Amino acid sequence: GTISIREIYSSFKENFQEVLINEVYWRDFFTHIIYHFPNVLDGAFKNKYDKIKWDNDKKLFQKWCEGKTGFPIVDAGMRELNTTGYMHNRVRMIVASFLVKDLHINWQWGEKYFAQNLIDYDPAVNNGNWQWAASTGCDAQPYFRIFNPWSQQEKFDRDCEYIKKWVPELKDLTSYEIHNLYKNHNLKNYPKPIVEHKEESQKAKEMFKRA
């Protein structure tokens, strides 16, 4: 059967699920965007960003897909997605930002990959979330706000429980060592970071400015 949005809202309200209610707002917001602006399924809501010349490096994209980027939180998220078809929303934002603003790959590549692998795939929500992360959508984060994967993982996975679950190559390291791999990497069974975050994020800002 079908559960109406009003039933969901009422149930969440009765059980004080404010966080879930906010997610329902986002779902309906993205659904309305696609209804009124169906062109977002083929390009950026802010169409000037369709002019961005992405690097679209296929080898880097493959490493992102496989969870072999050398960025633990990114790799953990992608491996969870590939194994279970699911990924926490915070990690989705991190891996999306990384693909677009660290690897400079068209957000539509990531949108398609998520569509092919998510068990909770919804065209409107998936498109809206990717355009939010890529700073190309309606009410998206500004292009100059770029997630730092290292600080994100330290903030949201301080003890590295999530990372160690999905990236077992790092299970014998301390959380401090994992959070500082970009400074001191001597592992043979786990790749070095494939890009330098600070350098690539600056390049991303310049790409968006030129659009």
Enumerate the active-site residues. 23, 26, 54, 89, 107, 130
Neighbours of 62 (CB within 10 A): 10
3-state SS of the chain is: CCCCHHHHHHHHHHCCCHHHHHHHHHHHHHHHHHHHCHHHHCCCCCHHHHHCCCCCCHHHHHHHHHCCCCCHHHHHHHHHHHHHCCCCHHHHHHHHHHHHHHCCCCHHHHHHHHHHHCCCCCHHHHHHHHHHHCCCCCCCCCCCCCCCHHHHHHHHCCCCHHHHHHCHHHCCCCHHHHHCCCCCCCCCCCCCCCCCHHHHHHHHHHHHHHC
